[in-house]
Amino acid sequence: MAHLIRHKIGNKLTNAANTVSNKSQAKVSGVFARLGFQAATDEEGLGFVDCDDLDFDYRQGMQMDIMQGDEEGGDMDGGDELMVGDSHYQRDGTGPPSSSSLKNTGACNELALEDKPKITTWDAGWNVTNAIQGMFVLGLPYAILHGGYLGLFLIIFAAVVCCYTGKILIACLYEENEDGILVRVRDSYVDIANACCQPRFPSLGGHIVNVAQIIELVMTCILYVVVSGNLMVNSFPNLPVSQKAWSVVATAALLPCAFLKSLKAVSKFSLLCTIAHFVINIMVIAYCLSRARDWAWDKVKFYIDVKKFPISIGIIVFSYTSQIFLPSLEGNMQRPKEFHCMMDWTHIGACVLKGLFALVAYLTWADATKEVITDNLPSTIRAVVNLFLVAKALLSYPLPFFAAVEVLEKSFFQDGGRAIFPDCYGPGGRIKSWGLGLRCLLVVFTLIMAIFVPHFALLMGLTGSLTGAGLCFLLPALFHLKLMWRKLLWHHVFFDVAIFVIGGICSISGFIHSVEGLIEAFKYGVEE
């Protein structure tokens, strides 16, 4: 008993001394902050002092428990279990475990025990390639038609900017702990938005991003159905089947997507989609090279069509949108450190292939270039290429559909006590029958929208201008400035501000002209 009393008195004295020391350090940090050496505020300094005090109390309490256990002949086997959750926060597994990570042991253990299959860097690369090398490459020659050489420059510029904004978006998921180790403290785009809007509007940013993500993902799914119907009706023009009927057939083939449960399964579809994409590129470019003698270099303009080019900007931007998938992909990677390398190579490959494909296709057909470039091919070749494109569209559909389902489920069904509806998953992670029915309804909804708005390029330009520019350019740059302001160098600030301004101008201009194009198409009854 006397032994315990001595320890308690000693702990209190040590705690008091530690508190005084921490407050002194906070004051010193404040002095350095005013001198410009450290960008910490007084409020932040006091916050760190409080955290240190709580952490010290916790560790002292753990030591007392261990001492009591030793006196009673107990055995603290649970100490090893307390370290399990560290891998959830310290993603790379390097460095000593942080003492603050012990506080959330229960939640960490639950997360560590979740049996979620991780994806390799190659799997992540296939998914990103699927997103940025999707069906929308078919509209790039149409962008060159109205933008000329400036359109080619934008294909390169968009690749560089989207790769950069993807990296800074992932950087916003991490913060340094007291040991200087990067720790993943956020899990999604929504978490980043909420962190930026705190403390006044803690959930406003998340709601805005959620709406933008859902629009972007559902629109992407709709576009895949639209392009599938368009390709089939142009492949078999002699059959008495309309584009809308072909869209229904394509949707019937997509209904099994409702059963997808993991990103690992989606990655397999993305791999097959990438293979189909390379086959299509080789076939189209080979045909264009066979007509190289007739290439119309004089038709490639240095000036732009002021009315049509903003639509082309939306098409180009929309063809690079992958930011919505990146937090989930990086969080599911076995080696998150390889994320930057994966982003570099996927975007370099996309830039080269898109630029080559768009230029060669436009040189072949010049002013006769159509919204979907395969419509320009001879009927014999067109049928073969279009069948590969339909397969590619069907294989591309699962990625945005799965992401849309995840966003909807987390927002309305799995948001803890704030969820509007009950959880759609039962014991063991099995989806309930009514949850499966809602997924099927989402597939049917994409069909209904595809039937009523069958204009591929205009719809792609509208979506790219409305949500693509926001999610790819505006929000990542804004969030990066907000969360990392004290750590950014002047050129990072310049890049972020420039991207935000240019992205805003392109977004507003492209949205206005895409809406005008759709109104004109419906007014004059233009089918495609």
- pLDDT, averaged across the chain: 75
| Confidence label for 497 from pLDDT (cuts 50, 70 and 90) | very high
pLDDT on residue 56: 44
- Of these ranges, 11-15, 236-240, 449-453, the one predicted with the greatest mean pLDDT is 236-240
- pLDDT tens-digit map of 79-114: 443 333 333 334 443 344 444 433 343 343 333 334
* Band of residue 70 on the pLDDT scale cut at 50, 70, 90: very low
Question: Model confidence over 476-489: pLDDT tens digits?
Answer: 999 999 999 888 88
Band of pLDDT at residue 12, cut at 50, 70 and 90:
low
Res 509: pLDDT = 73
Q: Note the pLDDT of residue 216.
A: 80
- Read off the pLDDT of residues 316-333 as tens digits, 9 standing for 90 and up: 776 787 888 899 899 989
**Using alpha carbons only, what angle is made at residue 185 by residues 183 and 190, rounded to the nearest 5 degrees?**
145
pLDDT, position 495: 93
Q: Is the pLDDT of residue 229 over 80?
A: yes
**Helix/strand/coil (H/E/C) assignment for every residue in 23-88:** HHHHHHHHHHHHHCCCCCCHHHHHHHHHHHHHHHHHHHHHHHHHHHHHHCCCCCCHHHHCCCCHHH
Give the model's pLDDT for residue 415. Answer: 55
pLDDT tops 80 at residue 151: yes
What number is the average pLDDT over the span 442-470? 74
Q: What is the pLDDT of residues 250-291, one digit of tens each?
A: 889 898 888 888 888 888 888 888 898 888 888 988 999 999
pLDDT of amino acid 27: 46
Q: What is the DSSP letter of 171?
A: H
Between residues 51 and 340, the one the model is more confident about: 340
Distance, CA of 285 to CA of 466 (rounded, Å): 31
Residues 6+ apart with CB under 8 A from 233: 241, 242, 243, 246
> What is the C-alpha to C-alpha distance for residues 376 and 276, in angstroms, rounded to an integer?
20
Q: Does residue 288 contact residue 361 with C-beta atoms inside 8 Å?
A: yes
Point out which residues pair with 175 in neighbouring strands: 183
Residues 207/318, Cβ–Cβ less than 8 Å: no
User: In which element (H, E) is residue 434 found?
Assistant: helix 433-452
> What pLDDT, on the 0 to 100 scale, is given for residue 426?
72
Structure confidence at residue 380 as a pLDDT band (50, 70, 90): confident
Check residues 220 and 184 and name the one with the higher pLDDT. Answer: 184
Residue with tokens 């069958």: 454
Give 413-455 pLDDT, tens digit per residue.
765 555 567 777 777 767 778 878 888 899 999 888 888 766 6
As a whole number, mean pLDDT of residues 148-177 equals 90
Maximum pairwise Cα distance, the chain: 99
Token pair belonging to 221? 């799914």
The yes-or-no verdict on residue 73 having pLDDT over 90 is: no
Percent of the chain topping pLDDT 70 = 70
Residue-level pLDDT at 487: 87
Question: Is the confidence at residue 48, as pLDDT, over 60?
Answer: no
Q: What is the mean pLDDT of residues 157-171?
A: 92
End-to-end CA distance of the chain: 88
> Between 36 and 425, where is the model more confident?
425
pLDDT band of 338, cuts 50, 70, 90 = very high
pLDDT at 456: 58
Contact 318, 461 (CB under 8 A): yes
**Closest residue by Cα to residue 321 from 349, 350, 356, 280:** 350
Specify the pLDDT at position 192: 92
Query: What are the CB-based long-range contacts (under 8 Å, 24+) for 255-259?
Result: 255/440, 255/443, 257/397, 257/398, 257/401, 257/402, 257/439, 257/443, 258/436, 258/439, 258/440, 258/442, 258/443, 259/436
Burial of 432 (0-12, 13-18, 19+ CB in 10 A): middle
- DSSP H helices, 366-432, are 379-396, 398-412
Q: Is the per-residue pLDDT at 67 higher than 80? A: no
Name the band, by pLDDT with cuts 50, 70 and 90, for residue 411. Answer: confident
DSSP state of 426: -
At residue 63, the pLDDT reads: 47
- Lowest mean per-residue pLDDT among 117-121, 218-222, 505-509: 505-509
DSSP string, 236-275: -TTSS--HHHHHHHHHHHHGGGGG---HHHHHHHHHHHHH
The residue among 412, 399, 423, 373 whose CA lies nearest residue 123 is: 399
